[in-house]
Structure 1
Amino acid sequence: MFAENKLTDDMAEIEAFLVRERAKVLSEAEWKFRMRGYGYNLRRTNGGVEVARLPQNTVLGTLAL
């Protein structure tokens, strides 16, 4: 979806955007809420944080956080 105001499917760009946005908030719940506004659904798994595109909920990849 959108990272840095441009449409992208590049997981490296998306990961950089998500990490920068995570640094701006106090809690993981707030981070997940903000990212839903950008069109990303974040879900905590055993392997890290799964990133999916909304509204289809298509999985883009997993962040090892």
Structure 2
Amino acid sequence: MSKDILDVLNIITRERHMAVSDREWQHRLRGYGYGIRDTDDGRIVTSLLRNAPLCPVPAHLCA
């Protein structure tokens, strides 16, 4: 896994722990330029600037 993806995962994990709801978490991620998209294969982190998928959201953050 690349360092960039690890950095993204660290950000989304940290922000998930600080947010009190899924909605707040997604709002906080938008401030970093990331979004969460629901797909048939699960949730994925996307770049809002490029509208491109980056990596899957770890299962422990989806609960």
TM-score normalized by the length of structure 2: 0.74
Give yes or no for the alignment of 1:39 onto 2:42: no
Aligned to 1:64: 58
**1:24 match:** 18
> Whose strand fraction is larger, Structure 1's or Structure 2's?
1
Contiguous gaps of at least 5 residues in structure 1: 1-8
What percent identity do the matched residue pairs reach?
35
Distance 1:45 1:32 in 2: 16
Offset from partner CA, 1:28-61 (integer Å, 9 cap, x none): 1110011111100112345443011112211111
- Would the alpha carbon gap of residues 48 and 20 (structure 1) be closer, same or farther in structure 2, given more than 3 Å must change? farther
Residue 52 of structure 1 contacts residue 60 of structure 1 at CA under 8 Å; is this kept in 2?
yes
Q: Output the TM-score relative to the length of structure 1.
A: 0.72
What is the RMSD computed on CA atoms of the aligned residues?
1.7
Task: Report which stretch shifted further, 53-62 or 18-27.
Answer: 53-62
Q: What secondary structure, in the 3-state scheme, does the structure 1 residue paired with 2:16 have?
A: helix
Q: Tell me how many residue pairs correspond in the alignment.
A: 57
The 4+ residue runs of structure 1 with deviation greater than 3 A are 44-48
